[in-house]
Structure 1
Amino acid sequence: MAKIDTVVIIGLGVMGNNLALNFLNKKFRVIGYDIDSYKRNQITHNQYFFINDLNDLKAYNNISLAVFLMLPADKISDETIATIFPLLHPESVIIDGGNSHFKDSIRRVNAFYKIHYNYLGVGISGGAQGALQGPSMMIGGNETQYNKIKHLFEAIGASFNGTSCARYVGASGAGHFVKMIHNGIEYALMQSIAEVYALLKTSRAFTLEEIAELFKTWQDSELDSYLLRISAKIISEKEQNNSVYVLDQIKDQAKHKGTGKWVSKFAFDAGVSISGINAALESRFLSSDKRLRTKINKVYNSEYQLPLNNFESKDILIQWSKQLLEFNQILSFAQGIALIQRGSEDFSLSVKLTEVLTAWMNGCIIEGKFVSQLHKVYTEQPSLEHLLLENSIAQRIEKIQKNSRKLVALAISNQIPLNVSSNNISYFDYLKTLHSSANLIQAQRDFFGQHGFERIDQDGEFHLNTLF
């Protein structure tokens, strides 16, 4: 069978159009379609073919196509698939590159097996620029179908030291599942950087330019990442023709899309704690109601300041802030990876964690030096139960946790909210607590609900009413 070299992009928003241009730049034949006629008219200058109706795909049913769906995560994807699959050559492959829920991806694969069509669910990260210049791609589905179009993914994807970051990560649903977890980690890392920014700014010891410079210097350390790099640029950006910083003009109300909530809901359903990641999402919820925050601020007269006299010097605040950011980085990835491991087991996704980490090395929002360290860890210890059990990670946490705690405690005493930081510390403390207070919780449950409990000295299930 000849290699597939014709790509169809359905959905020509920013991501879809940039992906089409990326393929075009790599000398593939590209056919575009969007339900919006305005978008179709706008792409005529981009030199790739376009169709005005999905039924026009019937003219290409004599060749195998790679059909990328770059559509919203709703029923429009199902409707589009139902329309196009009778029109395609049997060896064509449908690639869902939108932010679909991984369970929808699994459902679609099961449906396609019955009708002998081929479907891959692909998580794409890197934003608009990544789609154009080389995104990270997390591919799930039948590996035989993946191999048919592997050359397409590798041609347009990002790479790291010569290795493609477009990776086959597991079975049906794995691509979108891993991308969902990626987004949860992304939320936590973004909030962690924002919390450190808040600490430095409210100390009133640093200008925005100085904070940006600090973030730049940290790029020479284990903290180097895409998010830290863009944060430095954002913080130092000024309005045109004046000295006003752009960041100071942006409302402090962070929005979100559905994937963040998907991660939290999945974790709750699976019974896996990702309290730091959840806190990042909740921080966005809290930020969004500025009206209520303004009212409560007036009632309680919150000053929101971390005076520098809490520290021996500015350098101490800088050191502690850097250590707190590293602590949050480790805990965010630890929680995300733990959720990947559980989901892979519960849904038989056969996720290849080292392949996931390879995909995350470049081109995605959460790429950074730490991902390379994680790749080394899981290459050497593929059966590692939890990241916090790894020796080099444990040694690093031992060096940074004390000052991280001090900084969070000072922030809390000075009314500065650090949702991710404080939740990560509690998560870490609970996991290393040998004797927790959960025995009282279970006894309470049994007292009012007869739920029973286990004893430390006997096997079996017991009830409090047998003790009175």
Structure 2
Amino acid sequence: MAAGQKGTGRWTVQTALELGVAIPTITAAVNARIISSIKEERVAASKVLTGPSGKYDGQTKDFINKVRDALYCSKICSYAQGMALLSTASKTYNWNLDLGEMARIWKGGCIIRARFLNKIKKAFSENPALPNLLLAPEFKQTILDRQTAWREVIATAATVGIPVPAFSASLDYFDSYRRDRLPQNLTQAQRDYFGAHTYLRLDKPGSFHTEWVPIAEAEK
């Protein structure tokens, strides 16, 4: 199957990149549509690239409920990313958006309407300065209660070779957002190695640069 698209997702991703807002779930959805469009190429690749069979041998009924939990958690992350993008755009362009009111309006027929828009409206009504929907008490607890199933579904999908890009991107977003430290220290070290962009340290303030080649030579 090849999924179609009219450009709304692409425009959203482009805007997020320009504003420096992470929307990995939405980006994954756009990428999934793009790769689905190369149907003939995928058919040819399927004949030479091998992998797991895609068969699940566990309890189907129980797993279906876990998939529902994974979908709900991923959906929360998707909306959280969208609201974060709107919040940043509002601040950047002085739009003064009322995010709670926007959630209410979307219930009237928007393509992203969903029953839990009521919960989104409530979250921003209770805290207009909410930095991320994941921090709203109800959404936070929902994910904390369901994340074990969410992780199992993604792990199972990987084991049987079924791509679930939006699920995976949502979990990455959640795990990245909840961590006080991320592995981008390696990224910054690489940037300093290739372009002398400097890096920060945990043990002292200021920006630092290292002559990496002499260090590498000395370790040989």
> Does the TM-score normalized on the shorter chain lie above 0.5?
yes
What runs of 5+ residues in structure 2 fail to find an aligned partner?
216-220
- Listed as ranges, the matches of 1:223-302 within 5 Å are 252-301=1-50
SS at match of 1:349: coil
Match of 1:107 in 2: none
| Contact 2:100–2:123 (Cα < 8 Å) also in 1 | no
Q: 1:198-249, CA deviations, whole angstroms, 9 ceiling, x for partnerless residues?
A: xxxxxxxxxxxxxxxxxxxxxxxxxxxxxxxxxxxxxxxxxxxxxxxxxxxx
What runs of 5+ residues in structure 1 fail to find an aligned partner?
1-251
Counterparts of 1:304 and 1:385, CA distance in 2: 42
Match of 2:182 in 1: 436
**What one-letter code is carried by the residue in structure 1 that aligns with 2:18?**
D
- Listed as ranges, the matches of 1:81-120 within 5 Å are none
Match of 2:208 in 1: 462
Match of 2:167 in 1: 421
Counterparts of 1:448 and 1:367, CA distance in 2: 46
Counterparts of 2:32 and 2:115, CA distance in 1: 26
CA positional deviation for 1:405: 0.8
More strand by proportion, 1 or 2? 1
TM-aligned CA distance change 1:304 to 1:339, over 3 Å? farther
2:101 to 327, 339, 355: 355
Coordinate RMSD, CA, aligned = 1.7
| Contact 1:443–1:453 (Cα < 8 Å) also in 2 | yes
SS at match of 1:369: coil
Whether 1:448 and 2:194 are equivalent positions in the alignment is yes
CA positional deviation for 1:420: 0.4
Counterparts of 2:123 and 2:101, CA distance in 1: 13
| Contact 2:67–2:153 (Cα < 8 Å) also in 1 | yes
Q: Percent identity of the aligned residues?
A: 34
Counterparts of 2:54 and 2:194, CA distance in 1: 45
CA positional deviation for 1:301: 4.2
| Contact 1:362–1:368 (Cα < 8 Å) also in 2 | no
SS at match of 1:267: helix
CA positional deviation for 1:324: 1.1
- Which structure is larger by alpha-carbon Rg, 1 or 2? 1
- Listed as ranges, the matches of 1:331-370 within 5 Å are 331-370=77-116
Match of 2:218 in 1: none
Larger RCO (CA within 8 A; separation ≥ 6): 2
Q: 1:297-345, CA deviations, whole angstroms, 9 ceiling, x for partnerless residues?
A: 00024575332x2x2x332112101101111110110010010011111
1:375 to 121, 137, 155: 121
**What one-letter code is carried by the residue in structure 2 that aligns with 1:278?**
T
SS at match of 2:54: coil
**What one-letter code is carried by the residue in structure 1 that aligns with 2:191?**
R
More helix by proportion, 1 or 2? 2
Counterparts of 2:53 and 2:130, CA distance in 1: 41
TM-score normalised per structure 2 = 0.91
SS at match of 2:47: helix
| Contact 1:306–1:411 (Cα < 8 Å) also in 2 | no
Whether 1:410 and 2:156 are equivalent positions in the alignment is yes
Counterparts of 1:293 and 1:304, CA distance in 2: 16
**What one-letter code is carried by the residue in structure 2 that aligns with 1:362?**
G
CA positional deviation for 1:443: 1.4
Counterparts of 2:50 and 2:184, CA distance in 1: 36
**What one-letter code is carried by the residue in structure 1 that aligns with 2:209?**
H
CA positional deviation for 1:295: 0.7
Match of 2:76 in 1: 330
Counterparts of 1:255 and 1:303, CA distance in 2: 27
